[in-house]
Structure 1
């Protein structure tokens, strides 16, 4: 399988697909998901899932981003079928999001008419713009002089509006939420309570080893020479440290996906 770019998405198509994954990454790292999330996405494809990873650039208008990535995803499906790369048979569609990608999948599931077999939401956070975008801190100096700015920059929808929208309109019933033990910006627990009220017994929460950047981990293929050297020992240690949190994430995702088939 080789990566191919179609309609603003990066695509992997296995020989006999059993499902489709629409992947959305985190803010500022989603422009090249085939690079930043390569290991995780290729593992999904190796298990038989068509991977459509839609790139996007972050702006304050998250509704517009959600609309655009959904349009690109649907256009990509149409083009894969038109080129006969993907057949017309039914394949369940799952959304997988990391960080901001979770919010986009939640908005898509709340605002647009879609068909999803489920969503996997990893390291969800829903902070206001002032906390999420570092450069906005420069406006803090106004507070020191009791000056009220002419306007306040905020995401659309705001964090509060997002939570209300999910509580009232989110339509994807089956959800797996994953948080990592050392993730200080994770807000998965609060999201879980919202979703459980909407779909009791359809929401699973798993806490795994790792941190907010764990899904970006990559396998390091370190091969020792004929004589095992101190450098080989360091290389093996680095490989073990980097890779140790990836297998639990992979296992949990596939364990949740497998019962559907």
Structure 2
């Protein structure tokens, strides 16, 4: 495995052996500023399986539609660089965590430029839910602030303008921030939808690296059970990236 490298707005990591596929990853909220650190164990496990990883680095703002376009453009640039190196065309798997799922779902190509999306812990909160102080300060300033698109509009856009039929929505059992059921409802309202919902053990920080889980959850956050959860997730994503199905079929 090579070293992490910066490519435009993305951090990239490519396997030394033949590239089996490419994963385009967008992380959640402030974890995504340094995805090569925040999600290191998960992403490096994918590279060990022969997948190239392109992880967009960003700080979340209020205009999610704009950030979805920025992520899409940055990923496309990285993919072009990789294809020139290996001499073949790659159709990516898109992988998102929390807010990152929303940004993939709002991509300007409507999901046409990939062979599927794996959405981990989809989150579609309002601005004041995501930033509690905002709900206190904004009214006193006479300002109404919301993400664009709003949560309700996001689900409408997914139902009407997201065209990718192959989506794996992963919901962790002890995740209090997850809104995957709302996403699945929007996806399955479309004609020809083939989306799947998968329940796995874990919580909202299961995809994040061990050091971050310890920081937020304490020493208990990293043990053999946690390691098994991450390994299971790696196998699941690898199988989906290569065959478009889960390891169990």
Confirm or deny a common fold (TM above 0.5): yes
Indicate the larger mover: 112-121 or 161-170: 112-121
SS class of match (1:57) = coil
SS class of match (1:74) = helix
Give TM-score, length-normalised by structure 2: 0.86
Shift of 1:204: 1.0
SS class of match (1:179) = strand
Name the residue aligned to 1:191: 183
- Structure 2 CA distance for partners of 1:249 and 1:238, relative to 1, 3 Å: closer
Shift of 1:19: 1.1
Indicate the larger mover: 161-170 or 196-205: 196-205
Shift of 1:253: 2.2
5+ long unaligned stretches in structure 1: 220-234
Structure 1 Cα separation of the partners of residues 168 and 57 of structure 2: 22
SS class of match (2:30) = coil
Shift of 1:41: 0.6
Say if 1:18 and 1:91, in contact at 8 Å, map to a contact too: no
Q: Does the alignment pair 1:151 with 2:135? A: no
Structure 1 Cα separation of the partners of residues 230 and 79 of structure 2: 29
Indicate the larger mover: 60-69 or 87-96: 87-96
Pair member with larger Rg: 1
- Structure 2 CA distance for partners of 1:237 and 1:249, relative to 1, 3 Å: closer
Report how many residues are paired: 236
Say if 1:217 and 1:242, in contact at 8 Å, map to a contact too: no
Structure 2 Cα separation of the partners of residues 155 and 80 of structure 1: 33
1:5-51 deviation line (CA, Å, top 9, x unaligned): 11111111112111111100001110100000001111111111110
5+ long unaligned stretches in structure 2: 212-218
Shift of 1:162: 0.6
Name the residue aligned to 2:46: 44
1:38-73 deviation line (CA, Å, top 9, x unaligned): 011111111111100010111100011111111111
Q: Does the alignment pair 1:247 with 2:234? A: no
Name the residue aligned to 2:6: 5
- Structure 2 CA distance for partners of 1:103 and 1:113, relative to 1, 3 Å: closer
- Structure 2 CA distance for partners of 1:42 and 1:237, relative to 1, 3 Å: closer
Say if 1:111 and 1:169, in contact at 8 Å, map to a contact too: no
1:201-254 deviation line (CA, Å, top 9, x unaligned): 6111111000000000339xxxxxxxxxxxxxxx99953254242223223223
Match of 1:173 among 165, 175, 188: 165
- Structure 2 CA distance for partners of 1:243 and 1:197, relative to 1, 3 Å: same
Q: Which has the higher contact order (CA 8 A, sep 6+)?
A: 2
Shift of 1:113: 7.4
Match of 1:164 among 156, 181, 204: 156
Within 5 Å, give how 1:53-68 maps onto structure 2.
53-68=55-70
Say if 1:217 and 1:243, in contact at 8 Å, map to a contact too: no
Structure 1 Cα separation of the partners of residues 50 and 235 of structure 2: 15
SS class of match (1:92) = coil
Name the residue aligned to 2:207: 215
